[in-house]
Amino acid sequence: MAKSKKTKPLSIVILAAGQGKRMASSLPKVLQPLAGKPLLQHVLETARSLDPAALYVVYGHGGETVRAAFSAITGVEWILQAEQKGTGHAVQQAMPKIPDDHQVLVLYGDVPLLRAETLRGLVALAGDRQLALLTVKLADPAGYGRVVRDSRRQVKAIVEHKDATRAQLALNEGNTGVMVAPAGRLRGWLARLKTNNAQGEFYLTDVIAMAVKDRIAVAAIPAAGEAEVLGVNDRLQLAQLEAALRHARANELMRAGVTLVDPARCDLRGELVAGRDAFIDVNVVFEGRVLLGDRVRIGPNCVLRDVSIGADSEVKANSVLDGAQVGTGCVIGPFARLRPGTTLAAGAHVGNFVEVKNSSLGAGSKANHLTYLGDTTVGANVNVGAGTITCNYDGVNKSRTVIEDGVFVGSGSMLVAPVTIGADATVGAGSTITENAPAGKLTLARSRQVTIEGWKRPVRKPR
């Protein structure tokens, strides 16, 4: 029986020191957003999924801003590259921290779409006598270093675009820069790097030729497609990656049984978990973590952020849901807004131009038109009439309104908190309620209607 290959500890080095001048932005390149998260966050999440023994980020331009953006992330060691002298120099900054018996995986903070499956395959190829290199076949390889192979199709070197001959420029296999190498050997190769190239920099790619010279095999595997290994240097490329990621995620949703009216017009900027037969119309934006139950329908032009929506509920057009929990069989919108702390029980309705904040609506309750419910507890089977406002804020403190089961609130009412409307009570339209309304009774709070005889409307004086 063949002996199984012993797995070596893995150290991951992420190069994130680039300035990103072509972004024309005051924000460091690795903090530019892709699908609602910084580029570097995508890379960090993928790297952490590999369960490395150590994870290093080599940073430079905008360094403190970059570190501050990830202050909540643990298990990352930050290493400053004070002078940017090339990719080889960047990796050198991390090597004093890495033991010789580790494998080193080099990633890039501006290459966000690499899949964990691809990287696991690459790591599995590497060993004491073999370096693993990720390449890509390109329709247009301009700007990429070329993978140069010998007559036996073995990799013998990487030549950067600016240093390539005409024959080498005709090659279409590009270097992604992603590699796995034994730490002890990599340390020696990095120490031998020279700057005799068009950029005057220490190229990490030069270690490939050194490995070949030292009779270390180079196993090169191609990425599944260009999008996976594309980097970001300007806003055009950032938009291209946004489209590629949107396309990939849309395909995953549709394969899972979700209907997307137009996959190109569904923006997933976080995590979406959707049940079967969910329906998503055009121009819907998902942010944070969103959970959709079976048969949920989302109308056009909606924004959903950190929400959970139960089965058979519908969100109609132009609604915004943020930090809300929606039960089964609810109807929301059109033009509704659910703010953080909102909870809707089964069968609740929140209609057009209704805003709900830090409030709960019980089963079967409805607020269908032009209403604001803030810091309110609404029982079951309540009807809140059009134009009702819970007056919850006195300029300093916020107070709570309680509307018990079966209440009917007439249109145009003001409920001044703190106040309780008892079960099965009715509030007459146009009332301003400042004291508790008893259960089962009609409560009115209107001023006496008066008609002023002889009153004349003011008229503008002619100029």
Report the Cα 258 to chain-centroid distance in Å: 20
- Tokens read off for 4: 């199984």
Nearby residues of 368 by Cβ (< 8 Å), 6 or more positions away: 349, 350, 351, 352, 354, 384, 386
* Distance in angstroms (rounded) separating the CA atoms of residues 389 and 391: 6
SS3 state at 50: coil
Neighbouring residues of 344: CB distance < 8 A, sequence distance ≥ 6: 324, 325, 326, 327, 330, 332, 338, 350, 360, 361
The helix/strand/coil state of 280 is: strand
Contact between 370 and 387 (Cβ < 8 Å)? yes
> CA 321 from chain center: how many Å?
16
Q: Please state, in angstroms and rounded to a whole number, the distance separating the CA atoms of residues 417 and 401.
A: 5
**Beta bridge partners of residue 221, listed in sequence order:** 134
61 noted as active-site residue: no
Q: Is 217 helix (H, G, I), strand (E, B) or coil?
A: strand
Long-range pairs of 322-327 with CB within 8 A, sequence gap ≥ 24: 324/356, 327/363
Task: Tokens for 381, please give them.
Answer: 């089977």
Grouping H, G, I as helix, E, B as strand and the rest as coil, residue 128 is coil
Selecting among 89, 161, 349, 369, the annotated active-site residue is 369
Residue whose pair of structure tokens reads 């804020």 in the numeric block? 393
Burial track 88-118 (b if 16+ CB lie within 10 A, e otherwise): bbbbbbbbeebeeebbbbbbbbbbbbbeeeb
> Contact 44/58 with Cβ under 8 angstroms?
no
**Residue type at 154?**
Q
Are 186 and 105 within 8 A, CB to CB? no
Which two three-digit tokens encode residue 94? 């991390």
* Tokens (6 digits) for 134: 């990720």
Dihedral, 56, 57, 63, 69 alpha carbons, nearest 10: -100
Provide the 3-class DSSP secondary structure of residue 95.
helix
Enumerate the active-site residues. 369
